[in-house]
Chains A and B, each alone.
Chain A
Amino acid sequence: MSLASVVIVGAGQAGFQVAASLRQEGYEGRITLIGNEPGLPYQRPPLSKAYLLGKIQESNLLFRPAEFYATQRIELLHDPATAIDRLNRRLVLASGTAVSYDHLVLATGAHNRPLPVPGAELAQVFGIKTKADADALAPLAKQARNVVVVGAGFIGLEFAAVAAALGAQVHVLELGERPMARAVSREMSELFRQAHEHWGVHFDFRQGLSRILDDNGKVCGVQTADGRTLAADLVVFGIGVIPNAQLATEAGLDIENGIKVDAHLLTSDPQISALGDVASFPCVQNDEHSTRLESVQNAIDQARTVAARLMGKPSQYGALPWFWTDQGDLKLQIAGLSNGYDSTVVLGCAQDRQLSVLCFRNDRLVAVESCNRMGDHMAARKILARPPKLTAAQAAAEGFDLKAWEAANRD
């Protein structure tokens, strides 16, 4: 297999990893990594947590230093891709340059769903996606007295914890009825609700935002859907993302909640792969339904699969999804996908903020959510990596221990 050139669009977690893994696998051809953000490729998770708190510096966000790209012959271009010319296998860039490819990899990620209310354009209103967002937000977060967070998802809550730690009054507006409702069980939501309230965060569930109010162009409050006014000098929203699929759409590739790919992460054009936040793939852990995941694990493991295939070692993508979020002193880790679970078994103690929730579907373990129980999370990753034999009845037995069960059932 000798592809002369691989061109990767999107220099984020997935795009970077495809380039790095290709070289690791011994690929000798040309690699072009095309980004649209300034600077070197960096990781996003700390942007809504440690980086905002000043616990880690800018250089700690980078995947690799500048020398890496030179020594590994990864050509990094800061020139957004604007069109794919599939017929001639060329990618057109904003500067007008065209780059030829033998294989094209789309790793364009997703952008924040914008806040659909008047006032969303004010300078003190933020989504958190890029380092530029975090750099602009950090000084305001340090001074803010009243913060309104819109959306009680992972990023909204990570920021709520940061803002509370920095001393602000934090008010979270959420349309749903509990935190992280789309991603975690009721039991885990409840633990996080209590923890955030203990840190001083105030929740308003089943509540929307109708407008952001300003005083001479500066945010001074928000109006809730039920007509109340809340004081605010900073508004941060996290209400989901929209995959950056425009390039692929315009090029006529199949689209379905992002760029549609097959089990090998190939798009409807066999010369083009897609992965990471932008790709919806047939997910083994979700009954092969087309699924789009937004996580570091998904980006990295998919990148390894794509790089291996390009090196002549094809395999169907099937890695176990796992995820983490850090909020205050709580680390929530999720192994597997809990979609459609119908029963749970709870281990540990919510009061001590050490809890694991085992999610079962048709009496089959599908996911384990752990808060400050890393051992359970790691055991769960081992257990879920193969068709798990653990039943809800076994897990519910007096004195059940997930780590011990894993050790005893390693075969």
Chain B
Amino acid sequence: MPILTFIEHNGTHHQVKGEIGQSVMQAATFASVPGLPADCGGACSCATCHTYVDEAWLDKVQAAQGMESDMLEYAFERRDNSRLSCQLIISEDMEGMVLHLPSSQF
């Protein structure tokens, strides 16, 4: 069970246990990390699960592509390391991964 760290825009850290195969979004919402409404429940249809993958972890995850990238175009303050966390599936090599939350999802 990899441990992920979510850092809110105000600097608050949340350490969260994720399960292999679960989405990063679900790991965060299951742990009640604030600021991720994830309204569509992971269907890549709402863009309210936006996170920034910490620069140090970019070699572990691909950049957003296809539908996800299109949705992100309209996310608040998209950056190169933006991902919709419902599309990031937790794997062994994500142990310790750090994700940052945007100041708003809308």
Contact = CB atoms under 8 A, between A and B. Distances in A.
Q: Tell whether A pairs with B.
A: yes
Contact of A374 (B29, B42, B70): B70
B43 A324 contact: yes
Contact of A296 (B34, B41, B73): B41
Interface residues of B, number: 23
B79 to A, nearest CB: 17
Contacts of A331: 44-45, 67
Contacts of A326: 43
A378 B43 contact: no
A399 to B, nearest CB: 19
A127 to B, nearest CB: 21
A57 B29 CA distance: 17
Contacts of A65: 30
Interface string B17-34: 000011100100110101
Interface in B37-57: 37, 39-47
Contacts of A403: 73
Contacts of B88: none
A264 to B, nearest CB: 21
A372 interface: yes
B71 A378 contact: yes
Contacts of A24: 34
Contact of A372 (B22, B23, B32, B67): B67
Interface of B: 21-23, 26, 29-30, 32, 34, 37, 39-47, 67, 70-71, 73-74
7 closest A-B pairs by beta carbon, nearest first, are A378-B74, A374-B70, A324-B45, A43-B41, A375-B70, A374-B71, A65-B30
Given A57-B21, A324-B40, 9 more contacts: A45-B41, A63-B29, A65-B30, A296-B39, A297-B46, A326-B43, A331-B67, A373-B70, A378-B71
